């Protein structure tokens, strides 16, 4: 199965260095607090190490001690819904070598925004595109090559098993319904849904689908048994239908409030499954804090309903990092144009929002300034919470001993109108610095 190959194999330094870096005079994100502690990382293993054991038990001295001057040291950001960036969209049919090259280029640019891991998203497309593109979006971090930049955690297929009345900008002509698991295999490719070996993870990590369409709810256990997350989205599901999907194993909601039946006082719809009194486990949910998709108060309501499930996502398109203008987009059977003005994206000829062009750290700053949440609460929504949703607790999204040494150094920039913006000063991947602002 093809993958974007790393730049070089991981190796032990030959100059007598041990690859260990110690960060001091920093505020480390731990749980719901910023704690004044040192942090030690090892660029050879790519992991965070227990500093007391290294120094007192093994008498190890670090190669380098970095004084962060009181700045924040947080886990690398995790993006759970990225359609593309810097001119490349994952929903693009290209020759394999060209596609792989574009993914690699995106990874190196994406890490500069503070995102060290992400879930590349393909929208509703023809089967040919899924089958050709998905192998190149499989989890890519197992070789731990820091210089390759951000790593894929596996692909997110947002469609095409969606409600045609909640399609957003997805092409209605390519939407499908699934009656059997073979229908999913026919769409995505059997090899992308069924593990070929224990050594290579599945290309698909998450599927967004409308549970009320076809026999989709009955198919949820077949997906989750393969380690694929089922996310409710682009759906007309009632509260009862959404509850049935959660009971069947759904653990995520795609961009809550957008492209779904609105909250109604007699039927709360999909939002209702976040209720504390429910007997079912409450799912995680994505929120787009770009100032276009949702009103700030709506975001606060969602956060207060279930803080531990709150995940900030960008839903960004390939227009991230590009100037304003009209840009081509492969949309199912059609070629459309998206109009970019600032962070706002509109499908040409309509008034429909077509994703965003915001960065994840900008979403964090927006949420901070709109909600009154603390910095740890805001950062949790792009670190430990998405890691938990993806089943990567203790590996990603935290600074615990043994976790991957993916980190961002953040400073706080006061805004003229009040509040602060968080700014990415440095990015470290597997214990190696890969970006300095």
Active site positions, annotated: 315
Distance CA 244, CA 220 (A): 10
Distance CA 100, CA 137 (A): 9
Strand 47-49: give its sheet, edge to edge: 47-49, 39-42, 20-24, 64-67
Q: What backbone phi and psi angles, to 5 degrees, belong to 399?
A: -115, 35
* Cβ proximity of 169 and 347 under 8 Å: yes
Distance CA 236, CA 220 (A): 17
Residue 391 structure tokens: 């089943």
**Comparing C-alpha atoms, which of 129, 185, 121, 201 is closest to residue 157?**
121
Q: In this structure, how many other beta carbons lie within 10 angstroms of the beta carbon of residue 30?
A: 16
Beta-carbon contacts of residue 356 (< 8 Å; ≥ 6 apart)? 288, 290, 292, 293, 314, 315, 316, 317, 343, 344, 345
Distance CA 19, CA 11 (A): 10
- Looking up tokens 């909601």, which residue turns up? 253
């Amino acid at each position: 199965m093809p993958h974007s190959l790393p730049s070089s194999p991981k190796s032990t330094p030959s100059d007598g260095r041990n690859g260990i870096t110690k960060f001091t005079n920093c505020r480390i994100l731990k749980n719901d607090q910023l704690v004044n502690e040192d942090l030690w990382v090892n660029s050879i293993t790519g992991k965070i190490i227990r500093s007391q054991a290294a120094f007192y038990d093994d008498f190890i001295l670090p190669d380098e001690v970095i004084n962060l001057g009181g700045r924040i040291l947080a886990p690398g950001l995790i993006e759970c819904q990225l359609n593309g960036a810097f001119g490349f969209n994952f929903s693009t049919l290209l020759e394999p070598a060209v596609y792989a090259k574009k993914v690699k280029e995106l990874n190196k640019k994406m890490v500069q925004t503070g995102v060290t891991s992400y879930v590349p998203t393909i929208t509703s497309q023809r089967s040919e595109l899924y089958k050709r593109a998905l192998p190149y979006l499989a989890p890519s971090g197992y070789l731990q090559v820091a210089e390759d930049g951000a790593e894929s955690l596996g692909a997110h297929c947002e469609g095409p098993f969606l409600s045609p009345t909640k399609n957003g900008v997805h092409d209605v002509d390519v939407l499908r319904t699934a009656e059997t698991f073979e229908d999913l295999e026919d769409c995505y490719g059997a090899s992308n849904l069924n593990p070929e070996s224990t050594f290579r993870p599945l290309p698909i990590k998450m599927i967004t689908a409308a549970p009320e369409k076809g026999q989709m709810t009955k198919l949820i256990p077949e997906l989750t048994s393969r380690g694929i997350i089922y996310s409710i989205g682009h759906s007309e599901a009632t509260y009862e239908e959404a509850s049935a999907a959660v009971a069947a194993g759904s653990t995520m909601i795609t961009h809550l409030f957008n492209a779904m039946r609105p909250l109604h006082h007699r039927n709360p719809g999909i939002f209702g499954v976040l209720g504390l009194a429910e007997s079912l486990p409450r799912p995680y949910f994505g929120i787009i804090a770009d100032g276009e998709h949702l009103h700030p108060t709506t975001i606060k309501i969602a956060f207060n309903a279930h803080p531990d499930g709150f995940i900030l996502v960008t839903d960004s398109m390939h227009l991230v990092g590009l100037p304003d203008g009209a840009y081509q987009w492969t949309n199912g059977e059609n070629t459309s144009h998206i109009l970019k003005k600032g962070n706002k994206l509109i499908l040409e000829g309509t008034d429909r929002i077509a994703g965003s062009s915001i960065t994840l750290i900008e979403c964090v700053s927006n949420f901070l300034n709109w909600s009154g949440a603390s910095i740890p609460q805001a950062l949790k929504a792009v670190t430990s919470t998405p890691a938990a949703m993806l089943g990567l607790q203790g590996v990603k999204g935290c600074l615990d001993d043994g976790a991957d040494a993916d980190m961002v150094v953040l400073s706080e920039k006061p805004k003229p109108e009040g509040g602060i913006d968080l700014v990415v000063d440095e990015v470290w991947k597997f214990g190696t610095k890969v970006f300095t602002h």
